[in-house]
Structure 1
Amino acid sequence: MKQLKNNILLSCLCLLAFQCSKKVSNQAPTAVSLIYPTENLLCIDNNITFNWTTAIDPENDEVEYNIIIAKDRALTNIIENRTISNTQVSINLEQETAYYWKVDALDVNNNQGTASETYAFLTQGNIIENYVPFTAALLTPENNSQINSGTVNLTWDAADANFEDTLTYEVYFGEEDSTTLQDDNVATKSYSVSVESGKTYSWRVDVKDQNGAKSIGHVWTFSVN
């Protein structure tokens, strides 16, 4: 009986030692909030000092920041991609150009946290004039998502550095990768369509102002259950 108790005790000690020796997986830092340039800002200077909040790491690991600046909201036409240890950096950009930016926080183990929001801003030209609206931002349904059949509200957000401009929208919609113009003068940031089960749809929104300046949107897709 004594031998049995000793064996049980030894097994418990071995199990405890094994549990203590297990390495706790390293956690990623928190997402940062973008401070400057703010969303849809018209910057009078093209030498921009980007600034964001400090990320918090659960293990207090050293944190670095990857800033991406692009000329499109999808962040594919990248003009700047650098990793720094500070929460601000000054970058000289082109004048009279729309830009989109975000910041990812990562720790020393390259664990990347949740990405920040993507903000749009515009650098002013030498002469104040009418600027092209920012590219539409997707709201619903999410890109590459699965939804139910029936009537679906396509919704988006849009803005213009010329705050007094009146914006209207051209909505393109279709099955698979093919889209056709549904309405070229939508006044609200939503459009209703009917969708069928088992099909995949694509859609796009172009934003234009009353002066004819227009930004061409990205193509988004969703599938129907």
Structure 2
Amino acid sequence: MRILKYITFMFLFGSLLLSCGGGSDNETPIEPVAPVVVDPSAASLIFPEDNTECNEGVINADDDTRSTVNFQWSASENTDSYEVKIKNLESGSVTTATSTTNQVDVLINRGTPYEWYVISLASGTTSTATSDTWSFYNQGQGIENYAPFPAIAITPQRGATITETSSTVTLEWSTSDVDDDIVSYEILFDTVNEPTTSLGSTTNTTINASISTGNTYYWRVITKDSFDNTSNSELFEFRVE
């Protein structure tokens, strides 16, 4: 009788285990679903405005050659934080500021041209989004006329490789000026990385230059305004194949 009760108990216990899903080796385990991270979108810049003089900075009490400027942009979608890149167009140095909101205060030099842009970042992804790039002058003491902004290469793009289809190439650039009084551009062009050969001066934003296959060319734009203020662009280069 006790043996019968024991057998009955084991049968019931085994049935209970099976009914509770006691494991079949053939069952497919359920994989956890990873959350979907949406890439951030690009911010839109607000202040300092493009191609203007910024005169709202707070002058540094300990050094009146510098002022604190409040950089502002529109909040972008799917974004957790921002990197603000601010480039001094005279020295080439870049300041990086970070923010979890759509603004940040940065201490910069007065009487100096800058360009800036914002990178949108999101947690869980390495993808980023970059805003447009704007230029401005941070107001300086007693400046009545500002030098033009340094020119930016349009074609050939910086670092480009082009195929020779003729013996000349058209160099094209863009620039702007707070005072809107640019009078001429001088173009330095050569196969050495500090070009001194001048292609001459022009009032246009294009000029033709002679080229040949297998060479790397370097060029720079010197922009001049009606007060004889000048600005030198960065060094641009391209290769001809």
- Under a length normalisation based on structure 2, what TM-score does the superposition of the two structures give? 0.74
Encode CA deviations 1:77-96: one digit per residue, 9 max, x unaligned: 12x31211111123343322
Matches within 5 A, 1:4-83: 28-47=39-58, 48-57=69-78, 62-72=79-89, 76-78=92-94, 80-83=95-98
Encode CA deviations 1:129-161: one digit per residue, 9 max, x unaligned: 121111111211111111121222111111111
**Paired position in structure 1 for 2:149:** 134
In the TM superposition, residue 184 of structure 1 has moved relative to its aligned partner by 4.1
Confirm or deny that 1:168 pairs with 2:189: no
Q: Aligned residues: percent identity?
A: 28
Match of 1:138, SS? strand
- Under a length normalisation based on structure 1, what TM-score does the superposition of the two structures give? 0.78
Of residues 213, 216, 223 in structure 2, which corresponds to 1:207?
Answer: 223
Confirm or deny that 1:181 pairs with 2:197: yes
Q: Which runs of 5+ in 2 are unaligned?
A: 1-26, 59-68
Encode CA deviations 1:1-55: one digit per residue, 9 max, x unaligned: xxxxxxxxxxxx97xx89x779698564222221211211111222432111222
Letter of the structure 2 residue corresponding to residue 44 of structure 1: N
Q: Which has the larger radius of gyration?
A: 2
Contact 2:48-2:136 at 8 Å conserved across structures:
yes
**Which shifted more, 41-50 or 110-119?**
110-119
**Paired position in structure 2 for 1:146:** 161
Match of 1:50, SS? strand
Q: What is the RMSD of the two structures over their aligned residues, measured on CA atoms?
A: 2.7
Contact 1:29-1:111 at 8 Å conserved across structures:
no
Q: Which runs of 5+ in 1 are unaligned?
A: 1-12
**Paired position in structure 1 for 2:111:** 96
**Paired position in structure 1 for 2:140:** 125
